Structure 1
Amino acid sequence: MRILHLSDTHLYGDPAARHYDRIDTTAALRGLLARFDAVTVLDAIVHTGDASEDGTPESYRLLHEILEPFAAEKGATLAVVMGNHDVSATYGETIALGARGTTVQDRVVEVPGGGRIVVLDSSVPGAGYGHLEPEQLTWLAEVLAEPAGGGPAGGDRSNGGTVLAIHHPPLVGATKLLRGLDLDGLDELAGVLEGTDVRIVLSGHYHHEMTGAIAGIPVHVVPGITNVVDPVTAGDHEQSRAQSGASLVELVQGAPRVVTSVFPNAGDTREDAEAPVYDFGPEQVTAIVEAAGR
């Protein structure tokens, strides 16, 4: 499989709305996709959550109005994951979906050629952190008991294998804010994934590139489209830049191959593009974690 990995578009139903009073998120998404016009062959496009900022039906229709023609042009299957800013029920009522699992957003998306994308909804209504219910883990175990393409059990990858797509990365966050809003239950999830045909886990949420592993399976976190977080040089502040990023993921023999590009944000409405989109001090970070954390 060759996958274009996108995340965190934060679209609005109101075309005049701006993210942090600055970023035109629709223009940011369109501008980023234009950068990938030269990519002529894709098997799948995976959007790993926070598709919407306001959770409105209009924002989800806009997402699909933009992504579906792009996916069709590339011959790609489209899979969209729910994030903490999304409203899963609204998305499910607005967009016609295929077979669903235990929640409106737990489902299997088949990719021509034998691979598949398993979508998990890690969002918690009204919160920023991620959580998977026991019923979701049971459903995931049942799905993964048979490898993609219906091959023998035991992690067969000959038919392209499985991609797990989940908004909250199964990795400990790199900053105080992100650690307060990360995914819980990593040991339980690892127990389900071990020995399966999952080739890679794709996530968003952190708004910056990050790699790691769970149960020996690579995890890739893609930069955000609406902004890109600086997890290293911002010190005790939480800071993001007016940039947009995306990744190409190729499932080949051996380890997956991932390449990431980051561009100036096409939706930036501020003349001083070098100024942070936001710069939260320690007190603001604490307040956000208290309001949206566990």
Structure 2
Amino acid sequence: MRILHLSDTHLFGDPAARHYDRIDTAAALRGLLARLEGLDAIDAVVHTGDASEDGTAESYRLLHEILDPFAAELGAPLVVVMGNHDVSAVYSESIAPGQRTAARQDRVVSLPGGDRVVVLDSSVPGAGYGHLEPDQLRWLREVLAAPAAGETVLAIHHPPLVGATALLRGLDLDGLDALAAELAGSSVRIVLAGHYHHEMSGAIGGVPVHVAPGVTNVVDPLGAGADEQALALSGVSVVEIDEGAPRVVSSVLPNAGDALEDIGRPVYRFDPAQVARILEVAGR
């Protein structure tokens, strides 16, 4: 099983809008896909959330206008997960009605050959952090109790890993022990996530976790000291599942939607006081 893993495109319904008044997110996505010419043998294209920045139906139509033909050319199904900037109800009603638990979009996407992607919606309306309700965990338990003919992958926006920075730790996924209990000993081969905007790896319940770098920008978790910063880069991963541990390869490239010639200038840089204000509004 070979997956193209994208995340955090932050598309707008308004074509004139720019992320942090700088990044043309549609151009960033198109430019990244153009650099993947020649990619083949992909079984699924998985987008792990924050597909939209504004949660509009127009932004989701743009997402599919760009990604549907790309995935079709690869002969691969497209799987889209909801993130904290997304609006699950808008996506579900206007784009992809499917199996849902409560108000969230949780579903199983069956792939050719018997593989499957199990999608969990960890978004919380109006918040930046992630949460899974007890009924979602019960639903996950029931899904995993029914064995698949092939491989099982879990896709979720908020990584089930502790964040690498103060901002990300304030916007991470809660209830990790409960999720770990559902995954331990299960058929899930890897958990795919986004949200952090930088590549990260770890494990939960004995299952490997991969966090894809962002398409709209890439967070620098090590080089900003006490500050938080993101760079004008775009990232993508390919996940290969066979015998043994999954193999992940990532690329980080210049952002094709960057409006500035000085690509070394951060897209944003927040000091600790700014981070505290963000967490007051969006954090747990």
| TM-score category, normalised to shorter length | over 0.9
Q: Aligned residue pairs: how many?
A: 284
Determine whether 1:248 maps to 2:241.
no
Deviation at 1:16, TM superposition (A): 0.5
Deviation at 1:98, TM superposition (A): 4.1
- Work out which of the residue numbers 265, 268, 288 in structure 1 matches 2:278: 288
Which structure 2 residue ranges, 5 or more long, are not aligned? none
Secondary structure at 1:279's aligned position in 2? strand
* Partner Cα distance (2:102, 2:84) in 1: 18
Percentage of identical aligned residues: 74
Deviations 1:6-64 (A, max 9, x none): 00000000000000000000000000111112102210000000000000000000000
Deviations 1:150-193 (A, max 9, x none): xxxxxxxxx2x210000000000000000000000000000111
Look up the match of 1:263: 253
Q: Is the 8 A contact 1:228 1:241 kept in 2?
A: yes
* Partner Cα distance (1:276, 1:147) in 2: 46
Q: Is the 8 A contact 2:163 2:172 kept in 1?
A: yes
Q: Is the 8 A contact 1:10 1:50 kept in 2?
A: yes
* Partner Cα distance (2:103, 2:113) in 1: 27
Q: What value does the CA root-mean-square deviation take over the aligned residues?
A: 0.9
TM-score where L is the length of structure 1:
0.95
* Partner Cα distance (1:86, 1:209) in 2: 21
Deviation at 1:100, TM superposition (A): 3.8
Determine whether 1:116 maps to 2:106.
no
Q: Is the 8 A contact 1:10 1:52 kept in 2?
A: yes
Determine whether 1:60 maps to 2:60.
yes
* Partner Cα distance (2:21, 2:102) in 1: 37
Q: Which amino acid aligns with 2:220?
A: D
Which structure 1 residue ranges, 5 or more long, are not aligned? 150-158
* Partner Cα distance (2:111, 2:102) in 1: 21
Look up the match of 1:35: 35
* Partner Cα distance (1:111, 1:99) in 2: 16
Determine whether 1:214 maps to 2:204.
yes
Q: Is the 8 A contact 1:102 1:139 kept in 2?
A: no
Look up the match of 1:130: 130
Aligned CA distance change for structure 1 residues 285 and 206 (closer, same or farther; 3 Å): same
